[in-house]
A and B are shown apart, each in its own frame.
Chain A
Amino acid sequence: MAQKKESKSLAYQLISFVFTFMLIIFAISIFISRSFYSKVMLEMQHNTLRHLVHERIYLIDGILFKVEALAKMARSVVADYNLNDSEKETMLRTLLLDNPELHSLCMADQAFDSVKPKVMYTVRHRFLQRDIQGLDYRYQDWFQIPANTGKPYWTEPWVDTQGKGEMVISHSIPLYERGEITGLLRFDIELKYLQEIITNPDNFKVGVSFLVSNTGTLVAHPDLDLVMNQSLFSLAQEYDEPALSRLGEAMIAGENGFIKIGGKSPFKNSWIYYQNIMSNRWSVGVSIEESVLMEDVNLILLIQTLTSIIIFLLVGLTIYARGLNISKPLKKLAKAADSIGAGDFEAVLPLTDKSQEIATLSQSFSTMQRSLKEYIQNLRITTEEKNQIRGDVIYASEIQTKLVPGNTEHPLGVKELRAYGILEPAGDIGGDLYDYFMLDDDHFCFVIADVLGMGIVAAMAMTMVSTLLLSIAPYYKSSKELLMELNKFLSRNNIESNFVTALLGVIELSSGKLEYSNCGHLPLYVRKMDRSFQKYAQTHSTALGVFENLDIGSDTIQLITGDELILYTDGVTEAMNVNEEFLGIKGLEEIIRNLSLPNPENTAKSILNQVQDFARGSTNKDDITILVLDYKHPRMDS
C-alpha cells in the first residue's frame, strides 16, 4: 500500500501531468489540423465540383444552342425563301431526321383559328405528322408566352399529348411578317435526354448532380420522386430549410456559387456548387455530402490520432521508467532520514546520483545530519553544565538555609524569648535573611534584611551580610553601630546588588528594653497581649551599601511581658493577587488585627498562610521572610 502511494507521488504525477499537457496540445493540434484540412479539402472539392458542373453545362448548352440555331435557321428559311407548305414540311422533316437531338417539331405558321398547327415526329426513323386536335393550344405555354412576349422561349418541361406523349422541353420562336407575329415554330427535346446527361452515374462518381428550371423545379435528379414534383422552394417548405430557398433564388437569378445545406431535406449536410446554363437560364447543381467530402480529412486525422497515441504510450513508459529510477535513491534517502530521525546520526546517505537535484538533496541531508550531530553534542554539554549549575544552586540554597537559625521553642536557649522564623525564597535561593544571636548574656540581637534583587547574586550578598554580622557582633552593643559597620563593608566592597534594607534590634533581656535601627526596611509591629498592635514606621537611614558614611540612628522601645515583635520583608506587603493588587501595609495590619493569641509560630504561619491565600493564582512571586519574637510570654513566667 505504501509502495503504491510512493509510485503515485512521482511516476504517476509525472505521467498524469505530461499526459494532460500532451492531450491539450493534441486536441488543439487536431482542431487546427481539421480546420486547415477541411478548408483545403473544401477548396479542392469546390474546384472539382465546378469542373463537373461546367462539364454538364457544356453538354447541355451544346444541345440547346444547337436547337436554338436550328430554330433560327428554319425561321430564316421560312421568312426569306417564301416556301410553300410542302417545301416547309420537307425542310422540317430534313431537320428532324438529320438531328437526333430533336424529339419533335411543331409548326403553327398560319392564322391560328383557320389552320391547325402540325406536330412532326419520328418513330423508328419514320417521319410522322398530325394536326393538333381537341386541345386549345393557344393557351399552352409554348404558344402563349412567346406569342405574348414576341421573344423566343424555352418552356418548362411539359407532356406533349399530341406528339409522342413524352415529357419534353420546347424552344418556341415567333414568326414575323411585316412586324406582326404570324406564327410559331416549336422545337422539342425529350427531357429524358437532358436528365441522362445530368444523372448518368458513369459520368459522375461522387455526389449528386441535378438540374433546376427557371421556376426552381427539380427537372433532373437521381431521386425520381423529386423530379417534376418538387422545387427547391417546396423542399425548403417541406423540410423547413431556408438555405434551400436561398439556393433556389440564386439559381433562378442565374448566379453561381458554393453553399452548405443542412436540415433533413434530400440535400442534407451537403455542399452544393451551382451555375446557370447560358441558353435557357436553367441551372445545374452538384451536391456532395460533407461526410464524403471529409472522408480523406477524417482518415488523415485518424492516422494522426493513432500515431499520437503510440507516441503517448512510448513517452508514458519512458517517464514511468525514469520516475522509478529517480525514486530509488529517494527511497534510500527516506530510509536514511528515518534512521537519523530515530537517533542514528551515523546512518549512511547516498551522496551521488545521476540526477543533480537528487545529489544536491542528499548533500543537503548530509549537511543537516552533521549539523544535527553537532547540535545534539552541544546540547548534551550545555545540559550537563546546566545540571552542574543547578546542583550548585541547590547546594547554595542548603547553605543559605543553614545560615538562618532553626526554629526552637526558646531561641539560643533564651528563656525570656520565643521566636519563629520563616524564609520562603521565590526560587531555589533568595535575597532575604533573618537571624538572631546573643551579643552577651543579656543582649539578644535579631535582624531581618532584604537584598535588592533575587537569585545567586542576592543570595551571595545576603550570605556576606549574615557572616559579617556574626563576625562583628561581639564587638558592638548597639544596633546602629552594627549596621554602620555593615554599611561600611557593603559600600567598600562595591559588589553588584549591594543595596540592603535591614531592621536590626537588640533586646536587653533583663530590662526588656529594645533598641532598634531601621535602615530603609518595612515598619516593625509590636503586638500586645490585648491583641492591639503598634506600628513603628520610623526609619533611621536609607538602605545599606549606598553611602559609606551613613549616619544611622536608633529608637528604643520598652517591651513588656507578652509583647510580640513582627518583622517581615517586602515579599509580604508586595504580595499580589490575581487582580494585580498589592496586599500592602493595610492588608498586613488587617491580618495582624485578626490573629489569635500571641504565639510566634502561630503568628508567623498564620501570616504566611494568609499572604499565600491572597496571592494564590498570581504569577508574581518574591522571597517571603517573616520573623516573630515575643518577650517574656506569661506562660513563660508561670
Chain B
Amino acid sequence: MKHFRLILVAGIIVLCIVILSACKSRSSKGGDASPGTSVSSENGFTIRYCPKWQPHAQFAGIYMAMEKGFYAQYGLDVKMLNHIHSSEAIDSLAAGYLDVIHIDLLAAILANSAETKVVNIGQNSQKNTMLLVAKRSSGINSLADFEGKKLGIWRSSSNLITRAFLKENDINMQLVPIEWSINLFLQGAVDVINAMSYNEYHLMLQSGLKEEDLFIADLHELGYTIPDGGFYVTPQFYSEHPEQCKAFMQATKDGWLYAFSHPEETIDVVMELMHKAKIRANRAHQLWTLQKIKTSVMPTAAEIGILKPEDYRNAINLLKQEMDFSRDLPFEEFYPNGAEKRK
C-alpha cells in the first residue's frame, strides 16, 4: 500500500511535469516552438516563421511557397506558427522561440532603438497601404474637412504615419485608439478610420458602404511612402545562416509569383487555412486582397522582396520627427541582405 502511494505520488509528479511543459509550450504562442537554435532536420533547415496576422490572402505568397514546396526546393523546412502581436514576436525572436518574424518596418526600427534586435532580410510590401476613410455623409469631402472630427486610429506603431500626416498638415482630430474592428466606424462612433487598402476598406464595401459614399486619403499617394511588412531575424541568426535567409526570401518571392499567376488556386489554399483557423472568410474578399496586395508586393517585377534605402531613410526621418528617436542604424546593418547583394 505504501509502495502504491509512492507510485501514485511519482505518477502525479510526472503528470504535472508533462502538463507544465505543455502549458509553457502553449504560452509561447508558437505551437511547437521551443527556445534554441534552429537545426537541420530530414526535411531541410528548419525555420520557425511567425506571420504578422491570422490567415489571410495578404500572406498568400508565403502560403503558396509552402504549398508548392518552394521552401523545400531551397533546402528549408519552414514551420508557420500562430500569429502574435509584433512586440511579442520581437521578444520571442530574441528569446530564440522564433527564427523569422513578419512585422512592419516602423516596428522593426523602433525595436532597434536601444540595441539591434532585428535585421531585415527582405520586404513583403513595397508600399504603405494605409488609408484614412471617411463617410461623405458625415460632411467630409476633403482633407480639410478632417479638422475636429473623430479619428479611429490604430494603437500600434502603425499609427505613427497617421500622426505624422496630421501633424504635418496641421489637422487637429479627436483620436480614438482602435484595435482592428471597423464597427466603430460603421456605427458612426468615429468619423474617420484607419484602414488597409487590401483589407478593412473592402470589408466596409462588404458591409453595405459604397465607394462613391466614401472619402479616401491614400497616405502612400500623399507622400508617406513607408512600406508595411517585412521579414526579420536576429543579427546573430543572419550572421550564422545568411544563405538560408536569402533562400527564404527567394522561395517567398517564387511563392508570390506563383500566387499572382494562379489566383483561384491560391484563394483555395487561403480559404482552407482560414476555415482550419475557424475565422470568418469569404472568397470575394480574399480575391480582392490578392489583387490589391499585388501592387504592394510587386509594384514592378524588379522590386519584389527588397528594402529600398530611401524607404528606410523615410521611416527613420518620420520616427525622428514624431518621437525621441536617435539611433540611426546604418542601412547596410539594418538590411545586410541588400548590402551583400550590392557587393
Contacts and interface: CB of A to CB of B under 8 A. Distances in A.
A141 B184 contact: yes
A471 interface: no
A229 B208 contact: no
B135 interface: no
Contact of B208 (A139, A145, A216): A216
Of B177, B184, B207, B288, chain A has the most CB atoms within 10 Å of the CB of B207
A230 B282 contact: yes
Interface stretch (A232-240, A388-396, A515-523, A550-558): A232-240
Nearest to A252: B208
A214 B186 contact: yes
Interface string B181-201: 101101111100000000000
Given A215-B208, A233-B208, A144 B282 contact: no
B206 A231 contact: yes
A139 B183 contact: no
Given A216-B206, A233-B207, A252-B208, A156 B183 contact: yes
Given A233-B207, A249-B208, A215 B183 contact: yes
A216 B207 contact: yes
Contact of A228 (B176, B178, B280): B280
Contacts of A249: 208
Interface residues of A, number: 27
A136 B179 contact: yes
A148 B183 contact: no
B283 interface: yes
Given A136-B179, A139-B155, A233-B208, A148 B284 contact: no
B189 A149 contact: yes
Nearest to B182: A215
Contact of A229 (B184, B189, B281): B281
A238 B189 contact: no
A609 B31 CA distance: 140
B190 A229 contact: no
B102 interface: no
B127 interface: no
B294 interface: no
Contacts of A214: 186-187
Nearest to B204: A215
A86 to B, nearest CB: 33
A365 interface: no
Interface in A135-151: 136, 139-141, 144-145, 148-149
B285 interface: yes
B5 to A, nearest CB: 32
A153 interface: yes
A248 interface: yes
B189 A144 contact: yes
Interface string B301-320: 00000000000000000000
Contacts of B155: 139
Contacts of A237: 206, 284, 288
A145 B183 contact: yes
Interface in A248-282: 248-249, 252
B91 to A, nearest CB: 15
B147 to A, nearest CB: 19
A161 to B, nearest CB: 12
A233 B206 contact: yes
Nearest to B278: A159
B277 interface: no
Interface residues of B, number: 25
Nearest to A153: B187
B186 A229 contact: no
B178 A139 contact: yes
A139 B206 contact: no
Interface in A549-605: none
A149 B191 CA distance: 12
A141 B206 contact: no
Interface in A208-234: 214-217, 228-231, 233-234
B17 interface: no
Nearest to A245: B208
A238 B179 contact: no
Contacts of A144: 176, 178, 181, 184, 189
B4 to A, nearest CB: 34
Nearest to A231: B206
A229 B179 contact: no
A233 B189 CA distance: 22
A225 to B, nearest CB: 9
B18 interface: no
B270 to A, nearest CB: 13
A141 B181 contact: yes
Contacts of B285: 234
Of A149, A215, A249, chain B has the most CB atoms within 10 Å of the CB of A215
A249 B281 CA distance: 21
A248 B206 CA distance: 10
B206 A145 contact: no
Interface string B262-306: 000000000000000000111111001000000000000000000
A141 B190 CA distance: 12
Nearest to B181: A141
Contacts of A248: 208
Nearest to A251: B208
Contacts of B282: 229-231, 234-235, 238
A146 to B, nearest CB: 9
A215 B282 CA distance: 14
Nearest to A239: B284
Of A140, A148, A155, chain B has the most CB atoms within 10 Å of the CB of A148
Nearest to B154: A139
B205 interface: yes
Contact of B189 (A140, A145, A217): A145
Nearest to A226: B282
B208 A234 contact: no
A415 to B, nearest CB: 138
Interface string B126-154: 00000000000000000000000010000
B179 A140 contact: yes
Interface string B167-181: 000000000111101
A141 B189 CA distance: 11
B326 to A, nearest CB: 30
Contacts of B284: 234-235, 237-238
10 contacts: A140-B179, A140-B181, A148-B150, A148-B184, A148-B189, A148-B190, A155-B183, A216-B208, A229-B281, A233-B207
The 3 A-B residue pairs with the shortest CB-CB distance, nearest first, are A139-B179, A215-B207, A237-B284
Given A145-B187, A215-B206, A216-B206, 6 more contacts: A136-B179, A141-B183, A144-B181, A149-B187, A233-B206, A238-B284
